[in-house]
Amino acid sequence: MLRSLSTAVSGLRGHQIKLDVIGNNIANVNTVAFKKSQARFEDLLSQTMQGATAPAVRGGINPSQVGMGMRVSSILGNNYQGPVQNTDRETDLAIEGAGYFIVSDGQQNYYTRDGSFSRDGSGHLVNINGLRLMGWAGTAGSAAELTPLHIPLGEQAEARATSQIDFAGNLDLQTGAGDSYSREQYVYDSLGRCHYIEFVFTRSADGDEVNRWNYEAFVDGGSIGSGELFFAGDGKVSRVEVEEPALYEPAGADVMEIGLNFQDVTQLAGPSNLLVRGQDGFAAGELVSFEIGRDGAVTGIYSNGMVENIGQIALAYFVNPEGLAKEGGNLHQVTANSGEARMGLPGTEGRGVVRSSALEMSNADIAIEFTELITTSRAFQANTRVITTSDEILMEVINMKR
């Protein structure tokens, strides 16, 4: 009788722990990026009443054993992907695939799937507890040291002097010798001031040079550079000979040396429509918005039209993510069985990608948890019946003396 009592008590203890696990799963059914757990059981030592015998004249006999109960063998985490839900906040981030965000309190790194981030008063991306999201500043690669990601909205961007102008379009093959075509283009100096350069293209007057054009650049009527364009028989530029590099010295600013790219210019029979495809200078501006790409790149958009990479989110990959220890606050920490954190870029070496304006929800399923709750509560009740039945039999044994 005492053996059945202790066996049933072990069942009560084990199923009570399983009820605790199920209750925690249900409590966190709406917790961002929560990963549910599962309790697993194993039987305890069995008492051998009779050992096994080998077959001889008679057949063999199996062992006779009485089990001594059960215990919780492990509580396993279930790390499959939770559903991703769109939000209206651009700093909400979800990981599609494996990996963890890296956050820091300034002394220690933690790992989380919870991407509920926002900008604090200093412009850093932080979670709800103020831990800063880690990554790399600017275009620094994954070999650099991790730093808190900073998005300085409203910060002034320095002006950039124009260093190259890219041309495209056509110069009319039927243009008469000595005739010209002009195009005006703005550029910026090192102080962010805008200047206009007039480019004049003149068809060669030499009879044997039908595929040659002279060009000259002017600022306020003064020449700042010149050269010649030579076209092949297919109408494409064959070579460019620079006679004088395009140099311009604005008052108070650095000397501007401007490279001219004519590789996309053609000479075909048709209207001259030469234009500037782009120039790389910018006036001064300020950071007005930002975007976070699937590769974790934080792209800043400035009021002057400039677009620059201002940061890069890092993800950590673990060989055994179920080995991480939960620290509360949706945070995890490295253990001896999780493996070391492998830092790197999203979408590389097994890491998932990042989706902005979205959050990963809990992977706990209420229907499954309620089903487990029913079967576990019934098992708990059954073990209590074993205890009450054993107690009744003990009472009968005691009453035999009366």
Q: Which position has the token pair 């220890």?
A: 325
Residue 208's pLDDT is 54
Question: 105, 327 in Cβ contact below 8 A?
Answer: no
Percent pLDDT > 90 in the chain is 74
SS3 for 56-84 is CCCCCECCEEEECCEEEEEEEECCCCCCE
Residue extent(s) of CATH 2.60.98.20 domains in the chain: 164-279
Residue 5's pLDDT is 87
Closest CA to 13 of 44, 34, 36, 37: 44
User: Judging by beta carbons within 10 Å of its beta carbon (0-12, 13-18, 19+), is residue 248 exposed, middle or buried?
Assistant: buried
> In this structure, what token pair is assigned to residue 77?
């985490």
Taking the C-alpha atoms of residue 345 and residue 353, their distance in angstroms, rounded to an integer, is 9
Which CATH number applies to 164-279: 3.30.750.24, 2.60.98.20, 3.90.1280.10, 1.20.210.10? 2.60.98.20
pTM over 0.85: no
67-102 per-position pLDDT tens digit: 889 999 999 999 999 999 999 899 999 999 999 999
> In this structure, what token pair is assigned to residue 151?
């998005």
324-335 per-position pLDDT tens digit: 999 999 999 999
Question: 19, 376 in Cβ contact below 8 A?
Answer: yes
- Planar angle of CA 151, 155, 161, nearest 5 degrees: 115
- Give whole-number Cα distances, 318 to 111, 251, 327, in Å: 10, 58, 17
Mean pLDDT score, 41-48: 87
Question: 225, 244 in Cβ contact below 8 A?
Answer: yes
Residue 144's pLDDT is 78
In the predicted structure, residue 264 carries a pLDDT above the cut 60: yes
Phi, psi dihedral angles at 367 (to 5 degrees): -60, -45
pLDDT band at 336 (very low <50, low <70, confident <90, very high): very high
Q: H or E stretch including 216?
A: strand 212-219
pLDDT band at 45 (very low <50, low <70, confident <90, very high): confident
Mean pLDDT of the chain: 92
Closest CA to 150 of 384, 371, 312: 312
Closest CA to 224 of 201, 203, 198, 202: 198
Taking the C-alpha atoms of residue 118 and residue 121, their distance in angstroms, rounded to an integer, is 10
Taking the C-alpha atoms of residue 139 and residue 13, their distance in angstroms, rounded to an integer, is 55
In the predicted structure, residue 200 carries a pLDDT above the cut 90: yes
Out of 81-90, 130-139, 392-401, least confident range? 392-401
Question: 290, 301 in Cβ contact below 8 A?
Answer: yes
